[in-house]
Amino acid sequence: MKVLVTGSRGQIGQDVVSLFSEAGHHVIACGRRELDITNMEHCQQVISVHQPEVIIHCASYTAVDAAETNVDEAYLVNATGTGNMALSAERVGAKLVYISTDYVFNGQSPHPYYEYDRPDPQSIYGKTKRAGECLVQGLCSQWFIVRTSWVFGRHGQNFVKTMLRLGQERELLQVVNDQKGSPTYTVDLVHFLLELTATEKYGIYHASNSGACTWYEFAKAIFEKAQELLGVSFKARLEPCRTDEFPRAAPRPENSVLGHLAIRNNQFDEFRHWSEALEEFLPSMRHSL
């Protein structure tokens, strides 16, 4: 299968490229230099030349706080750019996978969010990603919208890497304990994309590792498992705190837990628990500690 990947140098994109290639697919990796998603003519030209069967659209404006002031740029990338990819996919008859986010919800529900719950984004980032979803649904006939959350993996910056670094640098580390979510290992996410793109089970999917925790509980598990598996000692003392003690430009959802209704109903395998995924991931960080 010929697969074109946007955002191929990003945290998710790099694993998409490597794991799809390992699975025997012909992968066209496109970063900003190879594909300007904000330029409609360039999108259509690149997609027409390569004629992919599947497009995995990972490119995204992900600076959550900066988006609150860089509104036009965030919409340009996440909405207009996604619309361009949807139209380009439709022109060549390609399946389109759009990587979206838990931020499309308001985060105030006491229950996990299912795929058909009403979106109500509170931040500019969330609003732009929701706009991208709407454009995919309206412009493309073969689409998968895959919402994920709290992503960690070998590439790019993420919470696990940050905690491993700060745990060795600081004496005290305060981590919010009133935001709950589902951590997601990029490798597990991409394995699901491999399964999903082989089907025609189109629609919205919530794809995160099973289980839920607060950021503080996640940090505590990172420290404990890194000490157990890697023998790393941390000088930082972990301390729980409230969100309002660290005000940010963009509001953070209190509840980001994603329910996997579509995965179950379409007979896909459920994701393993986030703690199991973390145990598998941490040894890959051994040489960077």
Q: Are 121 and 129 in contact (CB under 8 A)?
A: yes
**Residue 39's pLDDT is what?**
97
**pLDDT score at 177:** 97
Domain count, the chain: 1
The owner of tokens 């300007």 is 36
| 148 within a domain of the structure (yes/no) | yes
For residue 220, is it within any domain? no
Give the integer Cα–Cα distance in Å for 113 and 235. 37
Q: Which structure tokens are listed for 236?
A: 């930082």
Query: What is the predicted pLDDT for the residue at 286?
Result: 83
Mean pLDDT for the stretch of residues 18-34: 97
Residue 201 lies in a domain: yes
Res 47 pLDDT > 70 = yes
Q: What's the pLDDT band for 232 if we cut at 50, 70, 90?
A: confident
pLDDT of residue 205: 98
Percent over 70 (pLDDT), the chain: 100
Predicted pLDDT of residue 75 = 98
8-18 tens-digit pLDDT: 999 999 999 99
CATH number assigned to the domain comprising residue 66 = 3.40.50.720
In a domain, 263, yes or no: yes
Interval 138-148 mean pLDDT? 98
Per-residue pLDDT of 257-271, as tens digits, reads 999 999 999 999 999
Query: Residue 238's beta-bridge partner residues?
Result: 173
Choice among 33-47, 61-75, 222-236, 253-267 with the minimum mean pLDDT = 222-236
Catalytic residues: 125
For position 289, what pLDDT does the model report?
Answer: 67
Does some domain include residue 247? no
Cα angle 190, 195, 200 (rounded to 5 degrees) comes to 125
**Dist. CA 84–CA 261, nearest whole Å:** 29
User: Coil, strand, or helix at residue 27?
Assistant: strand
Q: Is the pLDDT of residue 288 over 80?
A: no
Q: What pTM was estimated for this model as a whole?
A: 0.96
Mean pLDDT value across the chain: 96
Q: Indicate whether 60 belongs to any domain.
A: yes
Q: Residue 262: inside a domain, yes or no?
A: yes
Q: Which amino acid is at 113?
A: Y
For residue 101, the one-letter residue type is: T
Give residue 124's pLDDT band: very low, low, confident or very high (50, 70, 90).
very high
Does residue 95 sit within a domain? yes
CA torsion angle 230 236 238 241 (round to 10) = -140
φ and ψ at 2, to 5 degrees? -90, 120
> What average pLDDT score do residues 27-34 get?
95
DSSP conformation letters of 119-187:
P---SHHHHHHHHHHHHHHHH-SSEEEEEE-SEE-SSS--HHHHHHHHHHH-SEEEEESS-EE--EEHH
The length of the chain, given as a count of residues: 289
Contact 71, 127 (CB under 8 A): no
pLDDT at 172: 95
Please write down the long-range contacts of 15-21, taking CB distance under 8 Å and 24 or more positions apart: 15/153, 15/154, 15/155, 15/186, 15/187, 15/189, 15/190, 16/56, 16/58, 16/190, 16/193, 19/187, 19/190, 19/191, 19/194, 20/56, 20/190, 20/193, 20/194
Residue 202 and residue 34 in contact, taking contact as beta carbons nearer than 8 Å: no
**Res. 86: pLDDT tops 90:** yes
Structural domain including 71 reads 2-158+183-211+257-272
Q: Which helix (H) or strand (E) holds 28?
A: strand 26-30
Res 209: pLDDT: 98
Task: Note the pLDDT of residue 287.
Answer: 74
Q: Per-residue pLDDT averaged across 19-40, rounded?
A: 97
* Per-residue pLDDT tens digits for 94-114: 999 999 999 999 999 999 999
Which residues are CB-contacts of 106 (< 8 A; sequence separation ≥ 6)? 120, 121, 122, 253
**Residue 82, CB-side half-sphere exposure with 13 Å CA sphere:** 30
